[in-house]
Amino acid sequence: MSKFSYEYYRDILKDGSLPKAFVDLDRFDENVFALQQRSGDKLIRVASKSVRCAALLERVFKAHEQYQGILSFSAPEAAWLASKGFDDIIVAYPVFRPDDIASICPFLKEGKTIVLMTDSPEHIEAIGAVAKKHEVTIPVCIDIDLSTDFGSLHFGVWRSRVKGMGEVDGILDAIKSEPCVKLDSVMGYEAQIAGVGDNVAGQGMKNKVIRYLKKKSIKEIRERRAAVVEGIQARGLELRVVNGGGTGSLESTREEDCVTEVTVGSGFYTPTLFDGYQAFKHAPAAGFALEISRIPKAQTYTCLGGGYIASGGAGKEKLPAPFLPEGAALYDMEGCGEVQTPIQYSGPIELSMGDPVLFRHAKAGELCERFKVLLLIQNGAIVDEVPTYRGEDQCFF
């Protein structure tokens, strides 16, 4: 029985109940190493939304000193992570509600570094009011838009309205007028490079077009990011951090001199959408196992349970997909179900009632929102069980 084969996992999972979520540590560690290699000499901030398990965040930080700091997805999450001992946390998405902003204040008072995101003077005003009330100084990070417009094609996402120094100056003025807010850093996330596959199976010509657009976009965003960083420095301000990229863009983001650190999250688990990139191939390290509970006809196995469709424009590629046994496939008409998921399989392995079918999600975050515990597998055995955020009663969004 070869390592990582269907039989390998079936044997490991045979004694426990199903469904179960698992992380294969041999592969996870391999990915942690490969991602560190791909990041060149840049520091690496870990995108917690793509891990959602405190024990595995700790494992990444222990693996190599290049991994430093967390890119969190909500202020209450950042506060919770700080309460567990994590530090140097940038909240990647702006928060506006006073309660959310206030959640980080006690930890700032304790000396933790937690930074809030902004792309407008309104954020600064809201943050400043809460900071004043709690008698703390809140550091902020300016999110610059790094999408590229090719004519009417918007290649990127709709997030920040900061295109260049014009908008940055408005934010810097707002910061100047709020005594309890200070500039800490700049982040630019090139989603169209990092999050769009350019070697997707069955996508032929589209892959070529995407590679061409990426090449042009990389050149342009490089100049834009550098112009903002230089502009801020020319105004006599220091930046602790210039953050960029994600799992899918490390090869280009690391080449930017002004970038001090890259972000990595999805690559640790490597969900299916990250199979489709030309520049790298990471190992599928996380998944979930459902039990075959009915066999409605030959070569059709209905599993008990299902999985979440990934965020983003909805298409089949966003569905969780069976990956072991090899050749197993969803039914188009049913997809991955809520409580039952039929699969078609006509390969050489004999499947019986009670056997597992192994699935992967399309994106990294969904797995841990669906399960309270991750089984940790290493060298052919379950070596530990660790709680996901849900397993620690944490549900941010």
Ligand X SMILES: Cc1ncc(COP(=O)(O)O)c(C=O)c1O
Exactly one of 69, 76, 156, 246 binds ligand X (CB under 6 A); that residue is: 246
Q: Which of 174, 194, 229, 319 binds ligand X (CB under 6 A)?
A: 194
Q: How far is the CB of 338 from ligand X (least distance, A)?
A: 25
* Least distance between ligand X and beta carbon 195 (Å): 6
Segment lying near ligand X (by CB under 6 A), choices 83-91, 188-196, 294-302, 305-313: 188-196
Closest CA to 363 of 268, 280, 279, 252: 268
Q: Is residue 35 within the footprint of ligand X (CB under 6 A)? A: no
Of 8 and 93, nearer to ligand X (C-beta) is 93
Indicate the residue among 218 and 303 with the shorter CB distance to ligand X: 218
Residue 47 or residue 82: which is nearer to ligand X going by CB? 47
Smallest distance from ligand X to CB 262, Å: 8
When the beta carbons of 264 and 330 are compared against ligand X, the nearer one is 264
**CA dist., res. 95 & res. 76, Å (int):** 10
Provide, rounded to whole angstroms, the least separation between the CB of residue 294 and ligand X. Answer: 36
Per-residue interface string for the shown chain with ligand X, residues 252-291, x marking contact by CB under 6 A: -----------xxxxx------------------------
Q: Which of residues 203-242 bind ligand X (CB under 6 A)?
A: none
Nearer to ligand X, 364 or 377 (CB): 364
Q: CB nearer to ligand X: give 196 or 357.
A: 196
CB of 247 to ligand X, least distance (A): 3
Q: Which of 18, 23, 47, 131 is the binder for ligand X (CB under 6 A)? A: 47
Range 297-356, binding ligand X (CB under 6 A): none
- CA angle 29/31/35 to nearest 5° reads 125
Which residue in 39, 48, 160, 247 binds ligand X (CB under 6 A)? 247
Q: Which is nearer to ligand X, 184 or 291 (CB)?
A: 184
Q: Is 92 in the site for ligand X (CB under 6 A)?
A: yes
**Least distance from C-beta 333 to ligand X, angstroms?**
31
Q: What is the 3-state secondary structure (H, E, C) of the chain?
A: CCCCCHHHHHHHHCCCCCCEEEEEHHHHHHHHHHHHHHCCCCEEEEEHHHCCCHHHHHHHHHHCCCEEEEEECCHHHHHHHHHCCCCCEEECCCCCCHHHHHHCHHHHHCCCCEEEEECCHHHHHHHHHHHHHHCCCEEEEEEECCCEEECCEEECCCCCCCCCHHHHHHHHHHHHCCCCEEEEEEEECCHHHHCCCCCCCCCHHHHHHHHHHHHHHHHHHHHHHHHHHHHHHHCCCCCCEEEECCHHHHHHHCCCCCCCEEEECHHHHCCHHHHCCCCCCCCCCEEEEEEEEEEEECCEEEEECCCCCCCCCCCHHHCCEEEECCCCEECCCCCCCCCEEEEECCCCCCCCCCCEEEEECCCCCHHHHHCCEEEEEECCEEEEEEECCHHHCCCCC
Shortest spacing between CB 365 and ligand X, in angstroms: 8
Would you say 195 or 305 has its CB closer to ligand X? 195
Q: Could you list the residues that contact ligand X (CB under 6 A)? A: 47, 50, 71, 92, 189, 194-195, 246-247, 263-267, 364
